[in-house]
Structures are given as C-alpha cells and as structure tokens.
Amino acid sequence: HVTGSLIGTGLSSSASVGLAYLKALADVNDLELTNEQLVHLDFELEHNELGLQNGLLDPMSIIHGRKNALLFMDTITASVSPIPDPLLSFDWVVAYSGISRELTKSGFNVRVDECYQAAAALLPDVKILSDVPREVFEDRKMRLPKNLRKRAAHFFTEVERVHAGAKAWYEANLEAFGQLMNQSCASSIHNYESGSEILIELHELVSSTTGIYGSRFSGGGYGGCVVALAEKDRAETACMEIKDRFSAI
C-alpha cells in the first residue's frame, strides 16, 4: 500500500489545478486548510466531479514535494517520509512523447476497477489489494482470470520495488535504483498493460541511451512523459541523443 509506482506520478494537471483552486478558495474565505485536508479535498474533487478513479499519489506529491529529496509515501495512511538525495552526482531527464493524455478517456479507470475485482476475488470481504496478504495472492492467484492475475502481480511486485527503491536511494545506489525503474516500467507494460505504443518506444529508447541508469513512464503511460535517472556528466549528451533518435522514429 505504498506508492503505486517507482517515480511514477505524472502530477496530473487536474490535481494541480484542483489544489490551486482549493487554496485560492480557502484564502479568499480566510479558511485554514491543513495539507491533509487539501489532499483529501482534491481526491474527492477528482473522484466526484471528474470521475477519475485515482488515488492520493498526485496531490500528496504536489503538497509534500520538497527540493533535494525523494518522497516515500504511504497512500493508505497518507504519510510521507522524505529521503534526502544522495551526494553523488546525478540528474533527472524528462522526455516528452508529444502525446497529451486525458486519463478519464484512457484505460486508467478500467485498470483500477480490475484491481478491485482482483482483491474481491482473492478475499471476498476486502475491496483493495493492499488489504490482501501477499501469501494469499500467491496461494490463490491461479484462480484469478489472467487479466486480474496480472494486475495483482503488478501491484504486489511494485510495492516490493518501492521499498527496494527507497533503500537504494538511501544507500546512494543509483545503478540499483535505475534497474528498479526499468523493472517497474516492464511490469507496467506486461502486467498492468497500461503503456501506449509511443511511450513504450520512448522508454526503451531512453533506457538504452548511454548515461541513463533507468527510466519509466511518468504516470500511467497513456501519454505524456518518460522520466529517467541519469549520470550528471552525461545527462546533456544523453538528452541530445534521445531527442535525435526519437525524432527519427
């Protein structure tokens, strides 16, 4: 039940706009809203008004984001633990696909519903996969339809990767963190089946570029960006190479 992906938040425009409006509305009415209230109000706004079945990841990232730190977030308890950036030299590279995304018109909500279905099929009294023990999934997974088994497999392995990623970041192991990003994206593609063709091509291109430790979709992968961890002294050259190679596709 930790963050749904390893550096996977797309920081949706709906969350950004929603939070901006909420803060403005609070200011003009002399209301004091805590960070937790802002996160949950934006969550309700996206669910009830936009029909987007997302979680707390995006508003939590926006509200709690800080410079020079990675956020380790538990989206069930809404707790946030910053992990300071390692002293090693690195850069983040964001490669835009040129394709905008609108999650309510993508497969995003379908995937969320499939996760609900998988949880209920594994344990009838629960709604979400974080309430299903991993050993129950391993014992009963072959009873699930293939699509639900793959969605649940993505969830459980992604939780493991997030914990491993936090450890790697704390230990300044950039190579391990990059490998986890690649593994996370591979699971998004093959188990969660959320990547669009152009984002998959862009991810593969970015991760195969010299100086890149690893990459994954920024968000669900239906459009938007790929985010990558890069060696600092090779990041600029890598960006130029990615741009040239992607333009040639």
User: Which residues are catalytic, by number?
Assistant: 58
Return the number of other C-beta atoms located less than 10 Å from residue 18's C-beta. Answer: 23
Length of the chain: 249
DSSP lists the bridge partners of residue 94 as 227
Structure tokens at 70: 């990675």
The Cα–Cα gap between 47 and 241 comes to 40
- Which residue, 111, 46, 70, 91, is CA-closest to 235? 91
**CA–CA–CA angle 20, 38, 2 (5° rounding):** 115
The Cα–Cα gap between 1 and 4 comes to 7
The Cα–Cα gap between 30 and 125 comes to 43
Give residue 146's identity as a one-letter amino acid code. Answer: K
The Cα–Cα gap between 76 and 160 comes to 16
Matching residue, tokens 């730190």: 69
